[in-house]
Amino acid sequence: MPVPVEGVSWFDQEFSSNALTKDQVGWDWFSIHLSDGRDMMLYFLRKNDGTVETESSGTLVEADGRPRHLELGEIRVETLSTWTSPKSGGRYPNRWRIRIPAAAIDLTIAPIVAAQELVTEGSTGVTYWEGAVDGKGTSDGSPVTCEGYVEMTGYTGSLGGLF
C-alpha cells in the first residue's frame, strides 16, 4: 500500500570523478537552498599543498531561476569547527561561514548530524563525508534560513589519481 510522503529530496548526478590529478587530495561540494528562493552550488578541488584549484567555482540561481556563474574569487568559505570520525580518524570540517559578497549572501551552516561519514571499504574503497546541513544568515540584507547537502572527500587520504 502506498504511503504518502512530503518533503525535500536530493538527486545527485555526478558526471565524472576522473578529473582528479595526482596533486589533488579531494573536493568539498556544497548545495544550499535559501528560504528566499535562491539556490547555490559551490565546489572546491583541494590540492596536497593546502591550496584550492583555480577552476573551483560555483553557481548561484536567483529566485526567478536565472543562473549566475561564481568565480572562485567571489566565494568565501571559512571552516568554523571540525569533527573527527571515531571510525576512520578523518577530521572533517563541520561548520562553515559561507559568503558571496557580490550577491549579499552571508550564511553559517552545520550538519544536522555530525556522523554522516561513509566508509566504503567493501565497494569503492573511498571514505568520505556526505550529508544534510542547515543554517541561517542573511541574503540581500534580509534574514534567511537554509538547508542543503555537503560532500567532502580526501580527509582520510588523498583521492588524487584514484579515478
Decide: residue 52, CB within 10 A, 0-12 exposed, 13-18 middle, 19+ buried: middle
For residue 66, being part of any structural domain is answered with yes
Instruction: Count CA atoms within 13 Å of residue 14 on its CB side.
Output: 8
Cβ-count burial 85-116 (b if 16+ within 10 Å, e if not): beebebebbbbbebbbeebebbbebbbeebeb
Cβ-count burial 54-82 (b if 16+ within 10 Å, e if not): eebbbebbeeeeeeeebebebbebeeeee
For residue 111, being part of any structural domain is answered with yes
Decide: helix, strand or coil at residue 90: coil
Decide: helix, strand or coil at residue 147: strand
For residue 17, being part of any structural domain is answered with no
CA of residue 93 relative to chain centroid, distance: 10
For position 135, which CATH number holds? 2.40.370.10
Please give the tally of structural domains in the chain: 1
Low-confidence ranges of the chain (pLDDT < 70): 10-19, 160-163
For residue 117, being part of any structural domain is answered with yes
DSSP 66: -
Domain that holds residue 63: 24-153
For residue 90, being part of any structural domain is answered with yes
For residue 160, being part of any structural domain is answered with no
pLDDT of residue 92: 97
Cα-based distances in Å from 60 to 50, 66, 99, 112: 26, 8, 12, 23
Q: Which residue has the cell 538547508?
A: 147
For residue 81, being part of any structural domain is answered with yes
pLDDT of residue 120: 83
pLDDT of residue 17: 56
For residue 102, being part of any structural domain is answered with yes
